[in-house]
Amino acid sequence: MMKNILLPILLLFSLSLFSQQQQMYTQFMYNKMGLNPAFAGNETYLSATLIYRDQWNGFPGAPKAQVLTVNLPRLGKRIGLGVNLERQTIGITEKITYEAMYAYKFFLGEGTLSMGMNVSGRNYIQDYTDNRLFAIQDITMDPAIPQTLQSRNLFNAGFGVYFNTNKFYFGASIPRMIKADIDFDNNNLFSTEVRHLFLMTGGTFIVNNDVRFTPQLMFRAAENTPWGLDLNGSFTWKDKYSAGMTYRTGGSRGDLGESIDLIVGMQLSDRMMIGFAYDVTLSRIRVIDNGSLEFILGYNFIPRKIKTIVINPRYF
- Render pLDDT for 102-114 as a digit per residue (tens, 0 to 9): 999 999 988 999 9
In this structure, of 2-11, 185-194, 215-224, 299-308, the range with the lowest mean pLDDT score is 2-11
- Torsion of the alpha carbons at 256, 292, 168 and 79, rounded to the nearest 10: -140
pLDDT in tens, 36-88: 999 999 988 999 999 999 998 877 788 899 999 999 999 988 999 999 999 99
**Average pLDDT of span 234-256:** 90
Closest-CA residue to 196 (of 255, 277, 120, 292): 120
Q: Is 110 exposed, middle or buried (0-12, 13-18, 19+ CB in 10 A)?
A: exposed
**Beta-carbon neighbour count of residue 216 at 10 Å?**
20
Residues in the chain: 316
**pLDDT > 70: what percent of the chain?**
86
Full-model pTM = 0.85
Q: What is the pLDDT of residue 173?
A: 97
Count CA within 13 A, CB hemisphere, residue 100: 2
Average pLDDT over residues 20-32: 84
Give the residue from 231, 248, 246, 244 showing the smallest Cα distance to 283: 248
Q: What is the pLDDT of residue 182?
A: 73
Domain residue ranges in the chain: 6-307
pLDDT tops 70 at residue 6: no
- Among 11-20, 57-66, 221-230, 265-274, the range with the most confident prediction by mean pLDDT is 265-274
* pLDDT range class, residue 14, cuts 50, 70, 90: very low
Mean pLDDT score of the chain, rounded to an integer? 85
> Residue 200 — left, alpha, or beta (φ > 0 → left; ψ -120 to 50 → alpha)?
beta
Please name which of 215, 202, 265 lies closest in space to residue 237, comparing C-alpha atoms.
Answer: 265
At 166 the three-state DSSP class reads coil
100 closest CA partner among 151, 33, 165: 33
Dihedral angle of Cα 104, 42, 159, 101, to the nearest 10 degrees: 90
pLDDT of 18 > 50? The answer is no
Q: Which residues pair with 161 in a beta bridge?
A: 115, 172
In this structure, what DSSP letter does residue 79 have? E
Beta strands in the chain (DSSP E): 46-54, 64-71, 79-90, 93-108, 111-127, 149-164, 168-174, 196-203, 205-206, 211-222, 228-237, 241-248, 259-267, 272-281, 292-301
Average pLDDT of the segment spanning 141-155: 80
Q: What are phi and psi of 243, to 5 degrees?
A: -150, 140
Separation CA 268–CA 266 (nearest Å): 6
CATH class of the domain comprising 6-307: mainly beta
pLDDT at 266 over 60: yes
Average confidence (pLDDT) over 131-151: 75
Hey, what amino acid is at 58? G
Confidence band, pLDDT 50/70/90 cuts, at residue 186: low
pLDDT band (50, 70, 90) for residue 16: very low
Do 289 and 281 meet the contact criterion of CB atoms below 8 Å apart? yes
Kindly write down the DSSP assignment for every residue of 59-71, as one continuous string.
Answer: STT--EEEEEEEE
Q: Which residues contact 76 (CB under 8 A, 6 or more apart)?
A: none
Range 10-38 average pLDDT: 71
